[in-house]
Structure 1
């Protein structure tokens, strides 16, 4: 299907752009429970997952139905951290081939980009696209208007 992805109905409601003619009454409802980190996530990815759930739940977009997507995002963010540590330790490039002259001095060398740089770039791109799905980027967040419950809004009594 070409073109822009459809916006889920619950995000239309949160953003204030819902129109009955553009809503899908037969759309499946998301589970009301908060997501729980799956067992396959590492300890660090579970910490990231819990942080994402906390942010998404405050925004009103966290659901147990989204566990797999949040787990993928957490796993990719952990991968970004791992790749970044490898780049910091080993550098962005490495010497692949070295040729020496008769006296043992370096005659030529071939410097290549480290493969982990490309892996980190791909992990960042994928993580960014997953985070946008939950409105966890400035541009995506600007399209959503969150309603703060009265008990959390210190100015609710004034209105």
Structure 2
């Protein structure tokens, strides 16, 4: 049976927020390798720009792993499509005149309006999956970084 209600929040986000519900965190949750996936070559220009801008931040927060690459690529591409549509609409207008077979002239909304709106909705919903919305950020509590908390630094000091 399908799960109902709000989707569960990723454990890393719960940890960053300080586990506000104080419920026990799952101990048997899969822990994928925290490596940044490569930027897909098929992303459009604006999507690649967003990828390069956000990946370091997500990596630093521990919210990016190899298996998250496809979802993050979808987020970036949705943003890229929305930007392309908005550029097109800025240049060509949101509507155009259409003359039907009877000779009547109608003002019609361009298809790019719906395409852009759908891409924006996809982008917004994927942003919440990665904690990228303003509301999600207000719930995240980031601990100050110190060399003592870095496992690599501890290993090197050894």
State whether TM-score is above 0.5: yes
Task: Please state how far the C-alpha of 1:41 moved relative to its aligned partner.
Answer: 2.2
Compute the RMSD of aligned alpha carbons: 2.3
Give the structure 2 partner of residue 83 of structure 1: 85
- Is there any run of 5+ residues in structure 2 with no aligned partner, and where? 148-158
Give the structure 1 partner of residue 55 of structure 2: 53
Confirm or deny: 8 A CA contact 2:95 2:109 kept in the other structure: yes
Match 2:35 to one of 24, 33, 36: 33
Give the TM-score normalised by the residue count of structure 1.
0.80
CA deviations over 1:62-105 (Å, ceiling 9, x no partner):
222211111111111110111011101111111111689xxxxx
Mark the structure with the bigger radius of gyration.
1
Match 1:126 to one of 122, 126, 133: 122
Return closer, same or farther for 1:13/1:114 CA change in 2, 3 Å cut-off. same
Confirm or deny: 8 A CA contact 2:12 2:62 kept in the other structure: no
Give the structure 1 partner of residue 73 of structure 2: 71
**Structure 2 residue matching 1:121: 3-state secondary structure:** helix
- Is there any run of 5+ residues in structure 1 with no aligned partner, and where? 101-106, 152-159
Counterpart Cα distance in 2 of 1:6 and 1:99? 53
Map 1:100-111 → 2, pairs under 5 A: 108-111=104-107
Counterpart Cα distance in 1 of 2:127 and 2:121? 10
What stretches of structure 1 move > 4 A for 4+ residues in a row?
18-21
Confirm or deny: 8 A CA contact 1:52 1:70 kept in the other structure: no
How many residues in Structure 1 have an aligned counterpart in Structure 2? Answer: 145
**Structure 1 residue matching 2:56: 3-state secondary structure:** helix
